[in-house]
Amino acid sequence: MPDCPPPLSHPSVPVSRLPAGACDTHCHVFGPAERFPYAAGRSYTPPDAPFEKLAALHAHLGLERAVIVQAACHGADHAALLDAIARAEGRYRGVAVLRADATDDELRRLHAGGVRGARFNYVPHLGTPPTDDAVLALAARLAPLGWHLCLHVDGAALTGLLPLLRRLPVPFVVDHMGRIKAARGLTDPAFTALFGLAAQPNAWVKISGIDRIGAGKRPFHEGIPFMRALAEAMPERTLWGTDWPHPNVRGDMPDDGEVVDALFEAVPDAGLRQSILVDNPARLYGFDAR
């Protein structure tokens, strides 16, 4: 039985229109379980959120492209992710979750299927984090493929990762603004560390998960100053995503129309939004130029 709430069935329509080629760089597909079973030993069981529902959401919001991030509940079985990418006919890419013993053949197969990055979880409820040696060893193998790393970090843990980040031979993306706590303000050491990554040329950030850094009440406006600060500090290395279907939400379920509206409030400049929504993801994930 699912132990996570489902996403809203009828999200609002965004007030503002997204530009052509806009990309949701952080979303997931779950199941359907009868075709793509969830992993044994998973830390959560979501309700099914298959490709058809994700594609319908993107059409509703005006998003033309997306990056599906492998969900922990599917473990290292990427069948659902690869199926969704194939069905999107060039409009979607993927980020994998790899075992330490992933073979070169597996990496090549994932690359052929549209995967362009690998994710590491440093969030306690998702299991034991990887060692630095494991991350560096895998990063070296991913470099020839042109892949990047996605780092799912929980708040203050980011400061302890800084020595590792300085050694990475590939681009890396910090998901969900490092899951910092908005209540602690822009001067919090965790956010200062995240903001400081602007000086590192292979560092990227996703201004996604606005609900995950706030107090859990829609429309999560306390996260907007953090989105704005990061976007202005890293204009060519900032990404955005919905985080649909919002797994393991602790608080109000986000309304994805409001999530889009929050981006427009945080980034009022149309040129900067074009970079974040279209140009930056096209460069990092290899989408065709518009």
Q: How far is CA 13 from CA 5, 10, 40, 46, 250, in A?
A: 21, 9, 37, 25, 24
Q: Which of 48, 154, 188, 243 is catalytic?
A: 243
In a domain, 60, yes or no: yes
- Distance of alpha carbon 105 from alpha carbon 8, whole angstroms: 39
Quick one: pLDDT at residue 65?
98
Tokens describing residue 114: 């549209």
- Distance of alpha carbon 73 from alpha carbon 251, whole angstroms: 20
Quick one: pLDDT at residue 80?
98
CATH number at residue 111: 3.20.20.140
In a domain, 78, yes or no: yes
- Distance of alpha carbon 48 from alpha carbon 35, whole angstroms: 11
In a domain, 12, yes or no: no
In a domain, 274, yes or no: yes
In a domain, 160, yes or no: yes
**Tally of domains in the chain:** 1
Quick one: pLDDT at residue 126?
65
In a domain, 13, yes or no: no
CA angle 255–265–17, rounded 5-degree value: 70
In a domain, 216, yes or no: yes
Quick one: pLDDT at residue 154?
87
In a domain, 183, yes or no: yes
Block means of pLDDT (10 residues each) for the chain, length 290 residues?
92 98 98 95 93 98 98 94 98 95 95 97 79 95 97 90 96 97 95 96 98 94 98 98 94 97 98 98 85
Q: What is the pTM of this model?
A: 0.96
Quick one: pLDDT at residue 289?
53
- Active site (annotated) includes residue 243: yes
Q: The domain containing residue 95 runs over which residues?
A: 23-285
